[in-house]
Structures are given as C-alpha cells and as structure tokens.
Chains A and B, each alone.
Chain A
Amino acid sequence: KAGVTQTPRYLIKTRGQQVTLSCSPISGHRSVSWYQQTPGQGLQFLFEYFSETQRNKGNFPGRFSGRQFSNSRSEMNVSTLELGDSALYLCASSLDSSTVNEKLFFGSGTQLSVL
C-alpha cells in the first residue's frame, strides 16, 4: 500500500510569489491535515479536510488556504509569500477525522524556501 505522497519535495520561491503544494493520501483515507514545521515554532497545525470539507483550521493568516478533491487528494496554497513562510510542510492522512482514535500517517513533506 503506497504511503502519503507529497509533491514537490523541494521548492524555492521568492517573496510575493504564490505556491501550491500537493498531498495524495493513502488509498481509502478521507481525512487530510496539514502542518508547518520550522526550527523556531516546531510543528503547527494549519488545517484539516475531511470529505472535501474543512473541519478545522489553525491560527494562520488567510494567505494560507487549502482544498480537498473528491478523490481525497489535497492541495494547500500560500499566496504573497513571506520569508517567514520558509518551512517544511507536512501532510498527514487518516481513515476518519478523529485525531484521538485514528492513526495519522505522515508524508515526507515539502521543503519550501522563500528567498
């Protein structure tokens, strides 16, 4: 069974640009969540999608957005990039939306560098 796939693996952008990251969950998983990982702030929750609906949203500005398609694949978009957006963006999938009962499977992440 294939794991969670995130593309691209590395990305370099300049300030002001926008970027779209992709996440393909494990087959059959309907929940996809996104996290930002930085050395200073650690892992922070961005948002979670379940069956194409956003279920939860973290404390990030509106420049960060996401969506989920009918095949459960998810994309996140960051507009007007800032230097502070440089981070490892991790996607996780699970069968259902319960973070207590469901095991999360993480992808290897997309390393975004903003210059």
Chain B
Amino acid sequence: AQSVTQLDSHVSVSEGTPVLLRCNYSSSYSPSLFWYVQHPNKGLQLLLKYTSAATLVKGINGFEAEFKKSETSFHLTKPSAHMSDAAEYFCVVTRSGNTPLVFGKGTRLSVIA
C-alpha cells in the first residue's frame, strides 16, 4: 500500500521568503511522486514529478523537490515566494503503470505581502 503524509495543513510565508512544504511517503515499491497545485476555483495542475531519475526535480514556476529515500521524503521548495503562489498543494504517490494516484490531504500556502 502507498500513502503520503503532508506534515503541515497550513503554511504562511512572507512574499520574497523561501517556501518549504513537507511530504513524507510510504510505499512498498519504488514510488513515483508528484506535486500538484490547486488555485481557488481551478483544477489541479502538475508542478513536478519524480520517476526514479534525478533525485532533485525542477518544476514550473520556480518550484523544486528532492527525493530522499533514506528519509522517505519529497519536500517541495521555492527560494522566493510570490503572491500568486498562494494555493493548495498536494503531494501524490503512485506505484507504476496505471496504478491510481494517492493524494495527501493538502497544504494550504498563504503568502503575506
């Protein structure tokens, strides 16, 4: 079975400061991991994905995440927050092939001017 735990339900940062959204995963197999973002009244959008290639993954809008097997973590970071980054972020795990995605409960990111 696979699961993800997003360690913070809400993170608040000031504009221009770094963002860290934490995610731990559990998987009996080599996982594929994703981060999705959901802006209010919008569908989810893929930020980045890890599929057993480079452990440091770069995504859109300046976000990146590092896969750490020893820590079973896949934290999402961004050097400098922008107001437009305020949204709900989901860490997602799947196994392989066409196995359904398993979503974390989400972290709401607030960016203060």
Contacts and interface: CB of A to CB of B under 8 A. Distances in A.
Interface of A: 3-4, 33, 35, 42-45, 48, 50, 55-56, 58, 90, 92, 97-101, 103-109
Given A90-B44, A106-B43, A42 B96 contact: no
Interface of B is mostly: loop
B100 A107 contact: no
A32 B33 CA distance: 20
Interface residues of B, number: 21
A108 B42 contact: yes
Interface stretch (B17-25, B69-77, B78-86, B103-111): B103-111
Contact of A90 (B43, B104, B105): B43
Interface of B: 32, 41-46, 51, 90, 94, 96-106
List 9 A-B pairs, minimum CB-CB distance, nearest first.
Answer: A106-B43, A43-B103, A45-B100, A106-B44, A97-B98, A42-B105, A100-B32, A99-B94, A108-B43
A99 to B, nearest CB: 5
B44 A98 contact: no
B100 A56 contact: yes
Contacts of B42: 108
Nearest to A99: B94
A99 B101 contact: yes
A73 B24 CA distance: 35
B98 A98 contact: yes
B43 A42 contact: no
Contacts of A108: 41-43
Contacts of A33: 100
Query: Of residues A33, A50, A104, which shows the largest number of chain B Cβ atoms within 10 Å of its Cβ?
Result: A104
A35 B51 CA distance: 22
Given A99-B94, A108-B41, A42 B103 contact: yes
